Amino acid sequence: MSSTDPPLRVTRRRLLAGAGALVAAGALDSHAAAADAGRAAPPPAVSPGRQPPGLPARQHAWEATLASDRHGNPVAPRFDRLLFFDVRGRATAAHARLLEAGLRTLERAFPWGPEGLLFTAGWGNAYFSRVLGVASPIQRAHGLSQFELPSIDDYHLCLHLACDDEQRLAAVEAALVDGVPLPGADGWLALSDALVWRETRTGFVGAGLPAAHQRVGGIPPHGPVARSAPMFMGFQSSLRRNQASEDSITIRSGPFAQGTTMAVSYIRLRLDGWYERLDERGRVARMYSPQTTPADLARITTDAPSQPGQIEEAGSRYGVIGHAQSTARARRHGRPLILRRDFDTVDGGHAGVHFVSLQRTLDDFVTTRNAMNAVAEQQQHARIADTFNNGINDFISVLRRANYILPSRAARSFPLLLAG
C-alpha cells in the first residue's frame, strides 16, 4: 500500500462475518512471491478458528508459566526468535483474520509456556502511519547515546517467539513464513498471503548455551565463556527484583489497554577486552559496581543492589561505575522501569544480544538508557568517558533499533484496523 492509499476501516462484525468462503488449511500459496509486498490481491477468507480458553488477556503475561530457580527468579525460555514482517498490499479484514487464524492455530497446537510456546505480536510505527494512515501510538526509535549510529527498522510487525525447544521455533517459523506443514497443528498457519516476511533474528539464554556458541566473532578464540554462564558476558541477568513486574508495565486504558510497549535493539558484543584486559574483579565492577566484590555476588539471590546511591563514590574513588549501578537509578517505587527479555545471539557469525525490553511507555526505556549512558558522571570524573570505565558501554554497540506496541491478545491482529 502506498502512503497515499486511503486506510480501509471495517467493523468487527464485518470482520467476523466475512469468512464465508473458507479456504482449507494447507492450500498454501508459494512463498516465492514474498518479495511482492505491494501485491493487490486480498488474502483468502479464512476462519479465525477456535481459541483455547484460559489464555491471559495480556500477550506479555509469560511469567506465570515459567519455572523458578532455587532463589525464586523466573527462568527465561531457552530459545527465542524474532520474525519481522510487512503487511502485504492494502490491509483488509481478511488480513486480520488470516493472522489471527495462524496465531490461534499455534495456541491450539502448543500450551502457553516455555514447554509449549510463548509469543507476542508487536506493531511498529510504519504500520500505523503508512498502512493505516493514522497517528502512531508510539514514537519512532532513534539513537540513544552519543556513541551509536543505529539503523532504525521500519518493519510493520514483529512476532517474538520463545520456548525451550529450538527445533520447535524453527518449525513454527517454517510454517508461518513458508507454509511448511507443522506436525500436530490443525489449522491455518501460513501468513504469506497477508504478510511479507522481511527478517529473522535468533538466540538463546541459559547456562551452557553461550559456552556452546562462543566460537564466533567478538569473543576471543581461547573459549573464555564459562560452561555455567547463562549469557556471553558471564553473569546472570534478569534477577527478579532487578526487573519491572508484568503488571507495572501494562497499559491501563485506551485501545491498547492490557498491552505494553517493546523496544528491540540489536546489540553487537566485542568481548576481547572484557575477557583479556579485565579480571573477574574488573568485570564485576563494570557489570555491577566497583563496591561489589565477586564474593558479594555469590550471595546475591533475587536482587543485585549494585549501590546506585554510591555512584559518586564509584567515580571519584574507583574511577569506574557499574552497569547495574547506573541503570538502577532509573527506578519508580523502588523497581526498575523496564522488563528485560533479552537473549544472546550468533546471528551473522558474531556474538550479540537481541535486547527486547518491555515497558509501559517508551519514555521509560529512554530514561533507563540515559541512566546507563551516565553523562553526568562523565563530566564529573576524568577517568570515566562514554565508553571507558562506564559500565558495559565499552563492550556493546547498537546496530539497530525499533519500537513496537503490543496490544492485548484480543486486539493483537491488525490493531486499529477495526472501527468497532
Residue 270 identity: R
CB count within 10 Å of CB 287 equals 23
Q: Which of 119, 127, 235, 404: binder of ligand HEM (CB under 6 A)?
A: 235
Closer to ligand HEM at the Cβ: 38 or 72?
A: 72
Which residues of 187-315 form beta strands (DSSP E)?
A: 195-204, 260-269
Closer to ligand HEM at the Cβ: 173 or 364?
A: 364
Tell me, by CB under 6 A, how many residues bind ligand HEM. Answer: 24
Task: Please identify, among the stretches 86-94, 115-123, 235-243, 404-412, the one whose residues bind ligand HEM according to the rule CB under 6 A.
Answer: 235-243
Length, in residues, of the chain: 420
Q: Which of 28, 231, 285, 320: binder of ligand HEM (CB under 6 A)?
A: 231
Residue ranges in 39-139 assigned as alpha helix (H):
93-109, 125-126
3-state secondary structure of 240: helix
Q: Does 331 bind ligand HEM (CB under 6 A)?
A: yes
CA dist., res. 340 & res. 359, Å (int): 9
When computed from its CA atoms, the radius of gyration of the chain, rounded to whole angstroms, is 22
Q: Does 239 bind ligand HEM (CB under 6 A)?
A: yes
- Taking the complex as a whole, the smallest distance from the CB of residue 229 to ligand HEM amounts, in Å, to 10
Q: Does 267 bind ligand HEM (CB under 6 A)?
A: yes
- Taking the complex as a whole, the smallest distance from the CB of residue 293 to ligand HEM amounts, in Å, to 15
Q: Which of 61, 314, 338, 417: binder of ligand HEM (CB under 6 A)?
A: 338
151-152 vs 396-406, strand pairing mode: parallel
Task: Please identify, among the stretches 98-106, 153-161, 237-245, 275-283, the one whose residues bind ligand HEM according to the rule CB under 6 A.
Answer: 237-245
Q: Which among 43, 41, 406 has a CA at the least distance from the CA of 250?
A: 406
* Cα 133 to Cα 1, 91, 96, 130, 159, distances in angstroms: 10, 11, 16, 5, 22
CB count within 10 Å of CB 307 equals 20
CB-neighbour burial class of residue 4 (10 A; exposed 0-12, middle 13-18, buried 19+): exposed
Q: Which of 197, 355, 404, 414: binder of ligand HEM (CB under 6 A)?
A: 355
- Taking the complex as a whole, the smallest distance from the CB of residue 339 to ligand HEM amounts, in Å, to 9
Closer to ligand HEM at the Cβ: 94 or 351?
A: 351
Q: Which of 328, 362, 402, 416: binder of ligand HEM (CB under 6 A)?
A: 328
Q: Does 233 bind ligand HEM (CB under 6 A)?
A: yes
Closer to ligand HEM at the Cβ: 260 or 327?
A: 327
Residue ranges in 237-361 assigned as alpha helix (H):
272-276, 280-287, 294-299, 311-313, 323-327
Containing 370, the helix (H) or strand (E) segment is helix 362-373
Residue ranges in 110-220 assigned as alpha helix (H):
125-126, 166-178, 209-212
Task: Please identify, among the stretches 169-177, 194-202, 205-213, 230-238, the one whose residues bind ligand HEM according to the rule CB under 6 A.
Answer: 230-238
Q: Does 237 bind ligand HEM (CB under 6 A)?
A: yes
Residue numbers 363-402 binding ligand HEM by CB under 6 A: 368-369, 372, 392, 396
Task: Please identify, among the stretches 83-91, 116-124, 324-332, 373-381, the one whose residues bind ligand HEM according to the rule CB under 6 A.
Answer: 324-332
Closer to ligand HEM at the Cβ: 25 or 330?
A: 330
Q: What b/e string do you get for 198-231 counting C-beta neighbours within 10 Å, with b at 16 or more?
A: bebbbbbbbbebbbebbebebbeeeebbeeebbb
Q: Which of 125, 136, 202, 327: binder of ligand HEM (CB under 6 A)?
A: 327
Task: Please identify, among the stretches 3-11, 149-157, 312-320, 331-339, the one whose residues bind ligand HEM according to the rule CB under 6 A.
Answer: 331-339
Q: What are phi and psi of 271, to 5 degrees?
A: -105, 15
- Taking the complex as a whole, the smallest distance from the CB of residue 358 to ligand HEM amounts, in Å, to 12
Asked whether 205 and 338 are in contact (CB, 8 A), the reply is no
Helix, strand, coil percentages for the chain (3-state, nearest 5): 30, 20, 50
Give the footprint of ligand HEM on this chain (CB under 6 A): 231, 233, 235, 237-239, 242, 267, 287, 304, 323-324, 327-328, 331, 336, 338, 353, 355, 368-369, 372, 392, 396
